[in-house]
Structure 1
């Protein structure tokens, strides 16, 4: 029994020992885990402190460095150099008071965050972001834990960005072009220049739907281009459209735009330039090129374009059209007896009366001089007869000018497409032949083209024969019209003008034979004769002791484009010994239409030292886009522009435009047909210093020109 009791007690004791061991073991394991956690936390703290890329410090309550991590090296210091030193020695004076206040807040228990400037060891200013955290030990503040992040680069980038934005804003706000941003169909930004151009205040434009100021006819174009940009069909786009100003006037913009992201949403940014004045100028120049200055009717060049369009349309639609040519009978007599001013008024009145004979689809043009043409689309013989009869009736009514009653009748020729030809040039030629046939039948009637007009062709052959005979018998002479410097009133040159001295008919004016010479090709030998004669005569004057002058000779288009023009000019200069700098060749505007061929010939003439001018500038069609490429020395303003100056505002504007254009292209400019002192004053005020015309002298034969001008120059 005793042994049993002893056994139970031993078992209990053993159990207690085991339990004690387990408790001790559990306690030891717990202590071991706590120690491990402490060591782990110490490692965490050590890594966070020592490996942190930002500088970390502990300050005592007096603001002295107690501990620092190795990141302070980015400021050039070692940890040892900082310990026991106050932070105030590193802060810029301007920031010290604010930094101290933040430190005091941390000492008093409030964490703070701020930015300031310090100096690194090399004395360079560094921008930093500072976080101060109070250190509590047993619920008492024992120091301040400080983390600083170097934001120097960030601040510089921020400063650069602000500076760039300021520059951009200044550039945009003061730009000479309009700038806008559009989002959801509305303007969300506009610069002052756009407001100025549109007449709106900025606050009025912002929020306005673009459709509210776009010209209605251009709205579809604008919307289409906006859609293309938003759909990434195109990148940057350039196009023109019309807009309505606040005062309801219409202006034309040239727009450059592209897609951007603005305030997190897609938008369109763009610039606009007000090109209204440029478009008006282009329109005016184009109008000048295609319209007659006196009557404002389409000229022959526009007629040719419309004729070509009519031929194409009529061929496709299997229909006809009629072409009417008319010439005013005895119009030259009006000019000769009453002067060109009355003659011009007659032409203007005739143009107005012709407008009353046709409908809106018909095209009236002044073909040249006193010749007019009328294109009647989708018309045959019957319509042409009705219009021709109406013209004869209306033009037969008397005209009254300066208390004189004038009667002007027309001679009318008619061709019908395709009956009389399917060729543009042949239609014009046949209408012209029919017109002259009407004139030959007594005037004031109309005639259709027919084969009987071969008689007219025979007449031209006879004239051609007479022209050839005139060349063989030396019936041509050169007359000279002086060209005057308006500032000094001295002549500096003369234009050589061809005259046909017929043994029976006397002086035949150039208008009577030059066109035929052009058509038959006789103008080429006649032109060569004129060049050689002018060079020879001018050389004689110089050898006789007269002061040198520039002599200008007209060159026809056919002569200009002959293959050996340059060789002819060079040969004439060599044979006569004439200095090329005193020779000027006057070409027509039509030559500028074939730019590439023209440039080659003009450069060769320039190489010889010969000057080149464009004669009668403004009445034909000059390819203004290419005019700047041509080596031209001078533009000659046609007398029809000068005639109304300075009393007619339109004439003044046209003349001023030509002078400005010539000067911008580094060309001289001379006015033809000057007849009054008022015209001289106007030309001088516009910068035109050269002129010729009846105010100074009519064209003179050699003997009279010598006596009246060359001799007087020598005496002076």
Structure 2
């Protein structure tokens, strides 16, 4: 039994030991796992800390209690420029700018006494440059004992600089806004919440009075809808910015025009509009004045041709939507030029003003009268029938039949009126004006002081000649002609001895028109007589003017047309012009052509009458006509002009050379002076001198030039003398 008990006891003990061993093993396993987990956590925390330390964009430094560098992360070089090796076991004190050293030490001591601190100071980097930093100091505890200091440093140099710039910019902006000559406003919820002094000055209200104003308190009611619409578009982002013009009523009830710019902003947490305002009242008034000047005649204040064209074009456009008939009257005052010339431009201007007034009285409010130019007026009768146009034309004739009282002068003027109808006589403004103008000249041709409607029969006439005749007549009335002068030179002395006066037409749009284009028409229509008399008077007047200036007297040569030459009173006209201008007859030379001498007896009679006056006579273009040499010796002429067609090739063509030599020799034998025209080269000059021809004119010396240019040549030549 005992042995059995012993065996049983021994077995229980073994089981217990085994159980105990198992418990120990389990405990060891659990402890090992726990230790391993703690170790892993410790390693993980260490990695977290190291990452936070090393990868932190801010500088992290640990100091001992004496302020010596213990460690730092990589960012330290971004501020100080030093590596960790440069700083380790060294104090921070030398890095602090002296002015901030006391503050830095105080903050450090506060931290090692157990309180975290934050402050700003300036430090030196490795290059000696100052940098502004923000420092946070945290005490390091080990076993509840402070063993050092953590410093987290941020570089705020640029941040502070930006803030400083921002403050300066804000100050500048505020100064700019407050002192600006442009109005500045902020609008929020339809009310004004800010204005600068300039805007107060514009409106006449004080700052306190205008703040809180609703737009409806300032803006004219008719301008409000557009303003509200644009403001709404800004708030709903339909527009990025706004530019608008409207009118406001100032405190003193003045109405001013403003140009407003605006854009959306956030102001004190709410949407608002900020912008500028410019007072454009003067500009608007100037624009209106300029527009009025551009579209109205300065003398009569009537609409001019440009406004008339706009109105006619408008009626033509409207006719595409509904039938429209209207008439255009073109009116020209008969004999206005005579009044202007005899009584002076002042009386002429007053006459035009009075005529304008009478024309207005003949028209309805819807009718438009314009001064087309000079003494021409145009009248637009909207929605006018032929009967209405005839009625208005008759009324004008009646109104202008009564004398005009101007400065104690009783003046009579009559109109010639041409009428065109839309659409019958033209579908464009230009065509309607042209046809009314043609009808007006047709009225003049019928004896003036009447009206005529345009008819297609007028086109059957020679359109070009008719237009040119019309333009020539107008050109004479408007003084569009001028004289150019080509010097005549003594080849021996190279001095100016005379000048040929050559007429030119200064067309207002085409510029200078050659005589070849208009002289034939002028001769055919008889206008050449009036034109020639003008040229003769103008040339004599100019020559006398040069003499009065003290320049040596020269002979002025003027061409006489065939129609002039065969006037029975040509000598009387010439004598009258010489008397009026004060020019001595010996300084005037009249140029005729060979064709004028075909009626020998009449030519001799006219030439003798002219010679009695004392003027000189030359035969122009000699050699190209059909005059008999037998009669040449009978003509009382003083000079022959060798035609340029012979001179041009005289040095290269033997035939032309022979002709020129013959003409010069004949002139010498007949005791006549001889002058060559069309001289263009030195060879021409040498050739003429060899033939004892001592006078010439041509491009070699000068082309025909204006009065001013000729006078300069004249004065230069006089200086050389």
- TM-score normalised to the size of structure 1? 0.57
In the TM superposition, what are the counterparts of 1:410-489 in structure 2 within 5 Å? 410-422=415-427, 424-435=429-440, 446-449=451-454, 465-467=524-526, 476-477=535-536, 479=538
The alignment partner of 1:343 has SS state of: helix
The alignment partner of 1:121 has SS state of: coil
66-75 or 571-580: which moved more?
571-580
Instruction: From the superposition, tell whether residues 477 and 183 of structure 1 become closer, same or farther in structure 2 (CA, over 3 Å).
Output: farther
User: Are 1:109 and 2:232 counterparts?
Assistant: no
Is 1:177–1:193's contact at 8 Å kept on the other side of the alignment?
A: yes
Is 1:215–1:243's contact at 8 Å kept on the other side of the alignment?
A: yes
Residue aligning to 2:82 = 77
Measure how far apart 1:321 and its partner are.
0.9
Pairwise CA RMSD: 5.6
The equivalent position to 2:295 in structure 1, one of 290, 293, 298, is: 290
Residue aligning to 2:63 = 59
The equivalent position to 2:351 in structure 1, one of 328, 346, 350, is: 346
Instruction: From the superposition, tell whether residues 469 and 440 of structure 1 become closer, same or farther in structure 2 (CA, over 3 Å).
Output: closer
Instruction: From the superposition, tell whether residues 301 and 31 of structure 1 become closer, same or farther in structure 2 (CA, over 3 Å).
Output: closer
User: Are 1:575 and 2:698 counterparts?
Assistant: yes
The alignment partner of 1:361 has SS state of: coil
Instruction: From the superposition, tell whether residues 332 and 100 of structure 1 become closer, same or farther in structure 2 (CA, over 3 Å).
Output: same
The alignment partner of 2:297 has SS state of: coil
Cα distance in 2 for residues equivalent to 1:440 and 1:201: 73
Structure 2 unmatched ranges of 5 or more: 471-520, 544-548, 552-556, 575-619, 621-677, 682-695
Instruction: From the superposition, tell whether residues 201 and 134 of structure 1 become closer, same or farther in structure 2 (CA, over 3 Å).
Output: farther
Measure how far apart 1:584 and its partner are.
8.0
Residue aligning to 1:674 = none
The equivalent position to 2:370 in structure 1, one of 343, 347, 365, is: 365
**Residues 449-483 of structure 1 deviation map (CA, whole Å, 9 limit, x = unaligned):** 45787999999699651458659999943726889
**Residues 396-449 of structure 1 deviation map (CA, whole Å, 9 limit, x = unaligned):** 566544455555554444332334455644543443454456567776654444
User: Are 1:88 and 2:93 counterparts?
Assistant: yes
Is 2:244–2:261's contact at 8 Å kept on the other side of the alignment?
A: no
Cα distance in 1 for residues equivalent to 2:301 and 2:47: 98
Is 2:418–2:441's contact at 8 Å kept on the other side of the alignment?
A: yes
Measure how far apart 1:363 and its partner are.
1.1
**Residues 346-394 of structure 1 deviation map (CA, whole Å, 9 limit, x = unaligned):** 3223323322332333210112233322110111122223333443455
Cα distance in 1 for residues equivalent to 2:269 and 2:439: 75
Cα distance in 2 for residues equivalent to 1:194 and 1:209: 15
Structure possessing the higher relative contact order (Cα contacts under 8 Å, 6 or more residues apart):
1
Cα distance in 2 for residues equivalent to 1:167 and 1:578: 71
142-151 or 185-194: which moved more?
185-194
Residue aligning to 1:626 = none
Is 1:478–1:497's contact at 8 Å kept on the other side of the alignment?
A: no
**Residues 311-350 of structure 1 deviation map (CA, whole Å, 9 limit, x = unaligned):** 4444653332112233445545554554332332232233
User: Are 1:123 and 2:128 counterparts?
Assistant: yes
**Residues 640-670 of structure 1 deviation map (CA, whole Å, 9 limit, x = unaligned):** xxxxxxxxxxxxxxxxxxxxxxxxxxxxxxx
Cα distance in 1 for residues equivalent to 2:558 and 2:270: 73
Is 2:219–2:249's contact at 8 Å kept on the other side of the alignment?
A: no
The alignment partner of 2:329 has SS state of: strand
**Residues 535-556 of structure 1 deviation map (CA, whole Å, 9 limit, x = unaligned):** x9xxxxxxxxxxxxxxxxxxxx
Is 2:522–2:528's contact at 8 Å kept on the other side of the alignment?
A: no
Measure how far apart 1:145 and its partner are.
2.0
User: Are 1:144 and 2:149 counterparts?
Assistant: yes
Is 1:117–1:126's contact at 8 Å kept on the other side of the alignment?
A: yes
State the number of aligned residues.
Answer: 527
Is 2:328–2:419's contact at 8 Å kept on the other side of the alignment?
A: yes
Cα distance in 2 for residues equivalent to 1:497 and 1:55: 105
**Residues 71-129 of structure 1 deviation map (CA, whole Å, 9 limit, x = unaligned):** 43442334454455443321112323333343343244332223322111221222222
In the TM superposition, what are the counterparts of 1:534-573 in structure 2 within 5 Å? none
The equivalent position to 2:396 in structure 1, one of 391, 398, 417, is: 391
Residue aligning to 2:308 = 303
Measure how far apart 1:176 and its partner are.
6.8
223-232 or 346-355: which moved more?
223-232
Cα distance in 2 for residues equivalent to 1:190 and 1:73: 50
Measure how far apart 1:133 and its partner are.
1.4
Instruction: From the superposition, tell whether residues 37 and 430 of structure 1 become closer, same or farther in structure 2 (CA, over 3 Å).
Output: closer
Measure how far apart 1:147 and its partner are.
1.2
Instruction: From the superposition, tell whether residues 186 and 464 of structure 1 become closer, same or farther in structure 2 (CA, over 3 Å).
Output: farther
Is 1:90–1:119's contact at 8 Å kept on the other side of the alignment?
A: yes
Residue aligning to 1:132 = 137
175-184 or 68-77: which moved more?
175-184
**Residues 148-174 of structure 1 deviation map (CA, whole Å, 9 limit, x = unaligned):** 123344445555666666677777777
Greater C-alpha Rg: 2
Is 2:248–2:258's contact at 8 Å kept on the other side of the alignment?
A: no
Is 1:199–1:245's contact at 8 Å kept on the other side of the alignment?
A: no
In the TM superposition, what are the counterparts of 1:584-663 in structure 2 within 5 Å? none
The alignment partner of 1:114 has SS state of: strand
Is 1:59–1:66's contact at 8 Å kept on the other side of the alignment?
A: yes
Residue aligning to 2:102 = 97
Cα distance in 1 for residues equivalent to 2:300 and 2:558: 28
Residue aligning to 2:248 = 244
Measure how far apart 1:175 and its partner are.
6.7
